[in-house]
Structure 1
Amino acid sequence: MFGKILLLAALCAGVNCRYLIIEEPVYYIQHYDEPEEPASMRVRRDAHGAVTVNSDGTSGAVVKVPFAGNDKNIVSAIGSVDLTDKLKVGAATAGLALDNVKGHGLSITDTHIPGFGDKLTAAGKVNIFHNDNHDLTAKAFATRNMPNLPAVPNFNTVGGGLDYMFKDKIGASATAAHTDFINRNDYSLDGKLNLFKSPDTSIDFNAGFKKFETPFIKSSWGA
């Protein structure tokens, strides 16, 4: 039994660290338009998405397509895919998101990870403060992990964090997550720099560090 738990811990170390961001796909996308726009225009009504390329050779894409709402709330279909460094599907996500004009939001997504199983995630965010210079948002999520592994039951992961942006140009975020089944904690610190932005296009540079801890193994902070 100890061997199975240790094997699962090692497996989750690879799965969760690589795909942690996919649990919250909507956070790739800025939900505020240019600062000079009135508050009623802060919810995007057009389809939009993002592409990421990582230093380890992995990549990903996310898309968000609004299909219902009013001047205060927008409901969108969201989807994303992660590719391994060999351009194979590492994770695929689909779900729904609700965005509020004040920067609050809710989402529910299902992520399928080949070789592992599925993750059903409910996430929420609350905008704490926003003006022309500063934006601070708190976020939280709960995930039901459903592995396709013999003798391994479903288990839960919960987490939360803060996102901060200055003048929609420089940002930072901190996230922590806990998986009680294997007593695992994940931590990440990330930074963001906007290199170019127009009404239709945004190019951003992102970098960060993350680590995990379990009673059996732990990592150091890695880029």
Structure 2
Amino acid sequence: MAELTAVRLVVVDDDPLVRAGLLMILGGAEDVTVVGEAADGRDAVDVVVRERPDVVLMDVRMPRMDGLAALRQLRDRGSPARVIVLTTFDTDELVVTALREGAAGFLVKDTRPADIVAAVRRVALGEPMLSPSVTSRLIAAVTGQGDDSRRRAARALIARLTDREREVAVAVGEGLTNAEIAESLHLGLATVKTHVGNVFAKLEVTNRVQVSRCVQDAGPAPG
């Protein structure tokens, strides 16, 4: 394994709170130096070309230019930076597309801080890095195994929800905040919070990313 020197890193995320959290986590590592940040893919390309980092931690869903388009532009420009895609959603199609476009790693946003730092280090050494959940889903997608059992399990959990709770779960799966769900479903914010709590309990999950996975695995309701 190659010896790791200080890793030059650029962080890209349109959510200022998420970006600040990542900067705090990664900036605290002695062997990582954050040399730039950006709030969308277009600025990310400019920052990466200018700063020439070793690793880029890049969100997917961003305004003006998304992470995959930015990844494609960096590849076309011959940038040597290794890109870790960071996202809330680990759908099979997104994983495969990101890897096809040249991503060196793929992490979901509920990854533990220590594991994010470890992923940056590994990718800087030229090793690929995937979240464990992403690895299992990718293997299943490539081999065609596990799809039916995962779908059946997810649908059994979704069946526990009331119609309104199912609507809320789908909205959570689309990445909407509680306030956005309240507006789209014409509900009070307190009511939405209650429904979200019920969804968490009935789906046996602890965060919104897991709700999204369950909704995605279940797929459309059978006709």
Is the pair's TM-score, using the shorter chain for normalization, greater than 0.5? no
Higher helix share: 2
User: Which structure shows the higher strand fraction?
Assistant: 1
Higher relative contact order (CA 8 A, sep 6+): 2
Larger Rg: 2
Q: TM-score, normalised by structure 2?
A: 0.29
